[in-house]
Amino acid sequence: MKIGVLGMQGDIREHIQALRQLDCDTQIVKKLKDLKEVDGLIIPGGESTTITRLMKLTGIWDEIKEMAKEGFPIFGTCAGLVVLAREITNAKEQETLGLLDVSVERNGYGRQINSFEAEIEVEGLELPVRGVFIRAPIITHVGDDVKVLSSHRGRPVLVAQGKVLAATFHPELVKGESRIHRLFVEMVNGK
């Protein structure tokens, strides 16, 4: 089993490190052919507009939509969640993959200066996770098929739908933290 991290832009290395803690085989996915070699894909945090543009340029955008129909597992953090969402309420012109039935507001908590950290309770985990929110999106609506695994200030911050997992925060930025990545690895393993 090998997990890919989309290597367009954003905190790619941090995701690789979190996966290595779980003894996972990893691969940075930069080209369409790389996608064929992995059993699941992480879309990192970064800048959703840039990630989108580069995904389209490489052909990964269209391919991933097809693969998702066949149940290919995808995990997005922050900008990755924005890319996966059904719609961006405050940037309707920004195209999304639409693989996760949520509406999001980009930079929902404000600008960089309004970034924050908080202890996040996650369903199934005994101890809270340190949630790092950096220009994070706010999920304003979730569809019926979306499972909310964690909320903060009354807003969903970790959600799952089928084989898609997404967080508005950055578990990859907390040193030694790999529990959310483990959830994804279990999803890939079909548990």
Which residues are at the interface with ligand GLN (CB under 6 A)?
45-48, 78-79, 82, 106-107, 134-135, 137
Encoding tokens for residue 166? 């997404």
Active-site residues, by number, are 78, 170, 172
Q: Which CB sits closer to ligand GLN, 71 or 98?
A: 98
Q: Which CB sits closer to ligand GLN, 39 or 116?
A: 116
Give the nearest distance from C-beta 98 to ligand GLN in angstroms: 16
Half-sphere exposure of 38 (CA within 13 A, CB side): 25
The torsion angle over the Cα atoms of residues 124, 131, 185 and 14, rounded to 10 degrees, is: -160
Give the nearest distance from C-beta 147 to ligand GLN in angstroms: 22
Q: Which CB sits closer to ligand GLN, 39 or 130?
A: 130
Give the nearest distance from C-beta 144 to ligand GLN in angstroms: 25
Give the nearest distance from C-beta 137 to ligand GLN in angstroms: 6
Q: Which of 79, 110, 84 is CA-nearest to residue 172?
A: 79
How far apart CA 88 and CA 147 sit, in angstroms, is: 19
Q: Which CB sits closer to ligand GLN, 46 or 156?
A: 46
Q: Which CB sits closer to ligand GLN, 134 or 166?
A: 134
Report whether 10 contacts 64 (CB < 8 A): no
How far apart CA 146 and CA 144 sit, in angstroms, is: 6
Give the nearest distance from C-beta 186 to ligand GLN in angstroms: 24
